[in-house]
């Protein structure tokens, strides 16, 4: 910073729009914001995602008032030439953007690149933690994060003498209920800025997926604070028990819906963590729920961010350990949920179509599991998750999809492939009761595509699975199936899901 003039403006990307970037030591700086048409049209984004990004940028410009200059240009480079002054930037959140800002710096358009302040752990500190590790386990990282930030700790020990309450957070949905019956999540009130964004997007006529709809997620620091407060006070107590459950008529259940403001940078992860911990300290929420939420933020989210950088820009392109070559089907890419019969798959796709959002179990154990069983290309799937989801920025999805969901990195990140038959979905959701497919059936017109698909996947990858202590039993069970040949023949020709 010694080389940087004190009056150098600060250029913020659309995922850096909170006080952590423009406050504190930078509170005196002019702020540059850019709407680049080429960036909006670069990929086939969800319509509501584009709305959120533009709304966030324009609300930031409005809230910063005289400090902010919002430029509209075809490209970021055009905007910087139009601005005519070198700017400061924080490290961007993707490999491509990082390469781009270094090129701009070499061309004199950027004065300096600063460490990103929107995550808890600095990148250099993770590099020290990673050291020479060749296998990564989130639990190790998570415990170190708890110690480092003194979260849910009593001296050197975890509160309750347990680090992880995952076993307490796996309850199926309550029976005889259509919804979880918790207070609704915070929903922002749209304003004139949102109305103008909607009109502008209509006029741009971009190639998008999904449908337009009311803005469901916070895009300003003030909205994010209200969303966090409502979650902690009214929804966090019920979060843990049912965080892995799925209910057809309750899309948000007791989830926080904070991934969007977190990924826009308008909510700092440590603020979310501290609010949740305080609820436990004040006896307002049970430890299992609070620990589960904190693990998602301080553990998994931070872990995915840092591994994205650690594994490098070729991680997605270079990893396809299971040789998955099937292209995404049109009904999937187009979010045509009505082309799908299986209720779990239909409901998950409809959620992406209607809101650009599902919770983590629908992503992993419905959509991800289906893609894994059917061998969809992990690079195409990664791009789809990053563009069809409103919280899917470029850094978020490679490790989540390639490493966790599709096991395409051969176990570098996860210890086993995450897939299951219909029995898991039947236990953890209310979808199977009136579905056209029977989760107990492997063969026949009403055979569940997840149940039959699980055994077809196990057969295809039996050598890999038999060498893994966590999946060896599945291979042994498959070898005892008397109808395996019929299952394999049926699934090789299946075109209805």
**Cβ neighbourhood burial of 344 (10 Å; 0-12, 13-18, 19+):** buried
**pLDDT exceeds cutoff 50 at 308:** yes
**pLDDT exceeds cutoff 80 at 358:** yes
Distances 434 to 23, 116, 308, 363, 451 between C-alpha atoms, Å: 53, 49, 40, 22, 16
- Strand, helix or coil for residue 401: helix
Instruction: Supply the pLDDT for residue 133.
Output: 86
CA-based R_g, the chain, Å: 23
Instruction: Supply the pLDDT for residue 134.
Output: 82
pLDDT category of residue 4 using cuts at 50, 70 and 90: low
What mean pLDDT is predicted for residues 119-129?
96
Contact 450, 427 (CB under 8 A): no
Partnered with residue 68 across adjacent β-strands are: 31
Rounded CA-CA distance 277/293 in Å is 10
Cα atoms found within 13 Å of the Cα of residue 493, Cβ hemisphere only: 8
Q: Give residue limits of the domains in the chain.
A: 10-114, 123-172+181-188+218-310, 330-493
- Strand, helix or coil for residue 365: helix
Rounded CA-CA distance 142/148 in Å is 10
pLDDT category of residue 267 using cuts at 50, 70 and 90: very high
Backbone angles phi, psi at 110, to 5 degrees: -120, 130
pLDDT category of residue 36 using cuts at 50, 70 and 90: very high
Residue 478 φ/ψ region, left for φ over 0, alpha for ψ in the -120 to 50 degree band, beta for the rest: alpha
Contact 83, 246 (CB under 8 A): no
Rounded CA-CA distance 305/223 in Å is 24
CATH of 330-493 given 1.10.579.10, 3.40.50.300, 3.40.50.720, 2.60.40.790: 1.10.579.10
pLDDT tens for 172-207 read: 999 989 999 999 999 999 999 999 999 999 999 899
> Is 1.25.40.80 the CATH classification of the domain at 123-172+181-188+218-310?
yes
Query: Matching CATH topology for 10-114 and 330-493?
Result: no
What mean pLDDT is predicted for residues 127-139?
90
Fold type of domain 10-114: Rossmann fold (3.40.50)
- State the first-to-last Cα distance of the chain, in angstroms, to the nearest integer: 57
The b/e string for 354-376 (b: 16+ C-beta within 10 A; e otherwise) is: bbbbbbbbbbbbbbbbbbbbbbb
Average pLDDT across the chain, whole number: 96
Say which residues have a Cβ less than 8 Å from residue 21's Cβ, sequence separation at least 6: 10, 12, 90, 117, 118, 265
pTM of the complete model: 0.95
Among 464, 353, 388, residue whose Cα is nearest residue 419: 464
In the 8-state DSSP scheme, what is residue 400?
A: I
């Amino acid at each position: 910073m010694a080389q940087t003039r004190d009056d150098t403006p600060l250029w913020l990307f659309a995922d850096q729009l909170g006080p952590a970037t423009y406050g504190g030591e930078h509170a005196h700086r002019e702020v540059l914001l850019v709407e680049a048409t080429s960036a909006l049209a670069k990929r086939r984004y969800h319509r509501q995602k584009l709305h959120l990004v533009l709304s966030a940028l324009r609300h930031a410009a409005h809230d910063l008032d005289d400090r902010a200059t919002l430029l509209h240009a075809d490209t970021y480079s055009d905007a910087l030439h139009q601005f005519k002054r070198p700017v400061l930037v924080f490290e961007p959140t993707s490999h491509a953007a990082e390469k781009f800002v270094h090129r701009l710096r070499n061309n004199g358009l950027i004065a300096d690149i600063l460490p990103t302040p929107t995550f808890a752990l600095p990148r250099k500190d993770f590099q020290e933690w990673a050291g020479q590790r060749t296998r990564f386990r989130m639990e190790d990282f998570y415990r170190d994060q708890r110690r480092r930030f003194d979260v849910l700790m009593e001296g050197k020990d975890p509160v309750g003498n347990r680090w992880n309450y995952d076993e307490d957070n796996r309850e199926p949905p309550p029976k005889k209920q259509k919804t979880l019956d918790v207070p609704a999540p915070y929903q922002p009130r749209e304003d004139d800025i949102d109305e103008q964004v909607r009109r502008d997007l209509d006029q741009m006529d971009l190639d998008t997926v999904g449908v337009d709809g009311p803005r469901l997620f916070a895009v300003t620091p003030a909205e994010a604070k209200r969303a966090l407060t409502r979650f902690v006070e009214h929804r966090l107590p019920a979060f843990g028990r049912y965080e892995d459950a799925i209910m057809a008529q309750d899309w948000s259940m007791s989830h926080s819906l904070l991934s969007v403001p977190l990924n826009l940078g308008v909510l700092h992860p440590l603020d979310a963590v501290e609010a949740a911990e305080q609820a436990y300290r004040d006896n307002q929420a049970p430890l299992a729920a609070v620990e589960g939420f904190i693990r998602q933020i301080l553990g998994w989210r931070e872990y995915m961010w840092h591994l994205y950088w650690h594994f490098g820009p070729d991680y997605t392109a270079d990893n396809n350990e299971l040789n998955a070559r099937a292209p995404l089907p049109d009904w999937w890419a187009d979010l045509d949920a009505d082309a799908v019969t299986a209720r779990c798959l239909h409901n998950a796709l409809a959620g992406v179509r209607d809101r650009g959002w599902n919770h983590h179990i629908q992503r992993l154990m419905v959509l991800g599991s289906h893609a894994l069983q059917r061998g969809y290309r992990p690079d195409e799937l990664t791009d789809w998750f990053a563009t069809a989801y409103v919280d899917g920025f470029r850094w978020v999805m490679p490790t989540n999809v390639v490493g966790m969901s599709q096991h395409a990195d051969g176990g570098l990140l996860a210890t086993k492939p995450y897939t299951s038959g219909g029995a898991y979905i039947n236990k953890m959701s209310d979808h199977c009761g009136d579905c056209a497919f029977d989760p107990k059936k492997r063969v026949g017109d009403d055979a569940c595509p997840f149940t039959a698909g699980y055994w077809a996947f196990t057969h295809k990858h039996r050598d890999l699975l038999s060498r893994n202590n966590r999946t060896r039993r599945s291979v042994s069970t498959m070898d005892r199936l008397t109808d395996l040949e019929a299952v394999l023949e049926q699934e090789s020709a299946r075109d209805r899901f």
